[in-house]
Amino acid sequence: MIKVAIIEDNTALRNSLTNLFNNAPGMTCVVSLNNLMNVVSDLNKAKPDIVLMDIGLPNISGIEGVRTVKLNFPQMQVLMFTVFEDDEKIFDAIRAGASGYLLKKTPPEEIITCVQELYEGGAPMTPSIARKVIHAFQNQSTESVDQYQLTAREKEILYSLVDGLSYKKTAEKYFVSISTVRTHICNIYQKLHVNSKAEAVAKVLKGKF
């Protein structure tokens, strides 16, 4: 059972998302919050696997919320759910530790699919957002890429991470086993000196890749 936390200040949308997850096979909403004022204690009690978080929250922004969640619960995965699709908000959220970024116009069935992908090791993003991230990635200099001495396959796997593919889809794309994908990702993390998908993507976006 995938345990989901929702942090959204729009009551109608929050209730709709709660019903969506509670009615989805293999998922349940363990806590539903309208702000981040007591987020550490609330999440500590609920212990969700995935946190679906708005950016435009009252008092404390969702971007600051991501930092707080990842600082206190490193293993929790944060999926941003927002109307914002400008580059600065996207990159700030990913740098803060978000592992995925969905727009609120995303259809319900796709939200469910993205939460499942995130739980399985992917980094789901709305296609328009993924294109922005890929564009930022492709603009990084080849010199900075080469200094980490990634192999051609490791670069391909990293592209897949930034593109939001799950381990399973990455394995299918390159005709290798999931175990092989995991080995490549471990090697990438070691070379980039990071410990997670979010950190790897953030390093790319900061221009330090």
Percent of the chain with pLDDT over 90: 46
CB-based burial of residue 138 (10 Å sphere; 0-12 exposed, 13-18 middle, 19+ buried)? Answer: exposed
Alpha helices in the chain (DSSP H): 11-22, 39-46, 62-72, 87-96, 108-119, 127-138, 142-146, 152-162, 167-174, 178-192, 197-205
**CA separation, residue 71 to residues 48, 49, 58, 76, 132 (Å):** 15, 15, 20, 10, 26
The confidence score (pLDDT) of residue 22 equals 98
Cβ pair 57, 93 in contact under 8 A: no
Give residue-wise pLDDT tens across range 45-93.
Answer: 999 999 999 999 988 999 999 999 999 999 999 999 988 877 778 888 8
Q: Is the pLDDT of residue 158 over 60?
A: yes
84/104 Cα distance (integer angstroms)? 9
Q: Does domain 2-126 have CATH number 3.40.47.10?
A: no
For the chain, the domains span 2-126, 134-205
Q: Of 196, 174, 186, 198, which is closest to residue 66 (Cα–Cα)?
A: 198
pLDDT tens digits for 108-147? Answer: 999 999 999 899 888 888 877 777 776 666 565 444 555 6
pLDDT score recorded for residue 13: 96
What pLDDT score was predicted for residue 137?
61
Structure tokens at 42: 């609330």
d(CA 40, CA 49): 14
Pick the CATH number of 134-205 from 3.40.47.10, 1.20.1090.10, 3.40.50.970, 1.10.10.10: 1.10.10.10
The mean pLDDT value for 31-43 works out to 96
